[in-house]
Structure formats: structure tokens, C-alpha cells
Amino acid sequence: MAVEHVLLAEPRGFCAGVEMAIKALTWMIRAFDEPVYCYHEIVHNKIVVERFEAQGVIFVDSIDEVPEGAPIMLSAHGSAPEVTQQAENVGGYTVDAVCPLVTKVHHEVKTRTKQGYQIVYVGHAGHEEAVGTIAVAPEAMHRVENPEEVAELNDLGEKVALLAQTTLSHRDWEGVTDAAQERWPDLWSPGRSDLCFATTNRQSALLALVDHCDSVIVIGSTNSSNTKALVKLAEQANGPNVIWINRAEELPEDLSGTVGVTAGASAPEETVEAVLKTLNPSKGVSIVKHTEEDEYFPPPRNLRELLSAIRFFSGFGFAGPSPTGHLNDRSIDAAKALQSLSTD
């Protein structure tokens, strides 16, 4: 491998929603005896999932798989209302780690359907976020992925709204938006796009470096929608020299010249560091910074209350698990929390 220079995108890796979800599940396994159950993968990254599985977390695709009384966490992608209700009925303690940006879309679905709208929803078939969002009001939802599918929709009347899966690429969103606006001139859409700011920032950071690279490496798992959007964007801009990996061990041996590196919103920084070490560029690493991200999403309220109660009773000598450290969650980095699990 003869890599001369690496251009490293910033921002990259964990977004605020992923940070929140990973730290929340880490708190859960500190607070409860094994096993803790999680409905769907907490985030779409194999390394993260494997790390939690090693700590006794059991990931399930149905609440029916959860024994009555067991602690349950619902994933960051959002869950159907009936799934949330079933988890609360079955679980001894249920924590919903849904990203607040996904919750916002769920709220928009409820609001628009109550006002009599039919909703054109831009989302990927089978993706957990899309499935959970559509389940909020299935009778009013019409999922599409491209402008051609917009044209194939039946007449939806005069009151039509446009909403989207948060992890789409801007190009996917804009193409469907133009087609929907042309078909329904009075189309309602949010004042601000439903697209996640972190998804948008990572795409913009990638575009800032891609034209200066001989190859581009995108780090993330194959079931990650936002990572897939990064790969698609890089391929459109940089042709065939795009390598999609989940681990540093998957890097090809024939890389050379200038290599761009970015990571999807659920990819751990430890993987980025391993990739940079393997590339070992002779002329070093340059950061290509698009913007500063300082957004913070606190853990779900009931989990915060539980942890505070545990600390309170532990202080009086009651037996039971006690989270390590303090509850100043904002000062805790999810990457470090994740790495700590491998040393427990």
C-alpha cells in the first residue's frame, strides 16, 4: 500500500442520535442484570451490535421473543405504536431510544393525518425507520423512493403532504420533492427538511473532499441507510474508486495516492482510527472540515430518573447495581463508553 495523503472528512461518525442511543444502552446494561433485550439493532453497525452482544444484550425482531418482565430498549430508528405498547405491556422496564428527529416525523404524520392529509413518504422499503413511521398512520401513507414512483401514485386528492426518512441523501429527497411539487402544486412539506442534519453534514463534508481524491473509503455497515447514501454520493462524484468497508481489515492492498476517508453516522471512531493506522499515509492526514457539530440529545427521561434513583439508594447502602461515574451524560463520549465495554 502506497498511500501518500489522507483527506479526513469532518464531521463523520456518530451523530447526536447515535450518541444518545449507545450511551442509553450502556446505562441499561449497567443498571440491570443480564440479559437486556433490544428491539432491533440499537444502531445499524455490526461492530456496535457485536460489542453489546458480548455484554449479554439480546437483539430481537419481535417483542414476542422477550420474556415477561425483562428490561427492553427500543432502537434509535423508531418503532410502530403497537410495538411500543406491546413492549410496555411485556417489559419489566422499557426505554425508548428513538432519535428525536424521527419522533418529529412521527409527530408530523399524526398532525397531518388528523387534518385530512394523504402523505407521500420518501423512504426505503423494509428499513426500520420507514416501517415504524408508516405504522403511525398506515391508511394515509404512500411510500416512494424515486420520482417515477411519485408519478405512479393514484390520485390522492387536494390535501397532500410530503415527509421523509431522516437518513436519505439530499439528491434523493430533492428529486422526489420536485416530482411531488409538480404533481400537487399545493403540496405541504415541513419548513425545514426532515433530513437529519448529521446526514446532511456528512454528505457535504464528503463532497468537499471527493474531487481531490484517487480513492474514497466510506466506513459503515451495509444495512446503514445514511452510509449507503454516502457511498452513492461518492460514486456519483468519484466514479468506481469508492471502497465501502465495515472494518479496517477489509481495506484493499492496492490503494495509493490521495485517499479520502469518511464514516456513516453509526460507525465508531475507533474504526476510523484503525483505518488511518492501516493506510499510514507518507504525507500525513489533513482534516477537511465542513462544520462544527455540537448537538446533544439527552437519554430518555425514564432512564435518567432510574439512574438517579439507583445513585440515591446506593448512597444509603442499598444493594444493587450502580452505574459507574456520574450522571453528567453530556460529558460522556459514546465512543469511549463503547470502548469501555470491550474492557469490562
Task: Name the one residue in this structure whose C-alpha cell is 451524560.
Answer: 329
Backbone angles phi, psi at 23, to 5 degrees: -65, -35
CA end-to-end span of the chain: 35
Measured in degrees and rounded to the nearest 5, phi and psi for residue 81 equal: -55, -40
Q: Which three cell numbers stand for residue 305?
A: 430518573
Under a CB-based contact definition with an 8 Å cutoff, are residues 166 and 199 in contact?
yes
Question: Catalytic: which of 10, 108, 128, 129?
Answer: 129
* Set of cell numbers at residue 6: 489522507
3-state secondary structure of 103: helix
50 is catalytic: no
Q: Three-state SS for 314?
A: helix
Q: Cell 447514501: give the residue.
A: 229
SS3 state of residue 96: strand
Query: Does residue 4 contact residue 260 with C-beta atoms inside 8 Å?
Result: no
Q: Alpha carbon of 2 to those of 51, 168, 257, 261: distances in Å?
A: 32, 34, 7, 16
79 touches 102 (CB < 8 A): no
Any idea which residues carry the catalytic annotation? 129
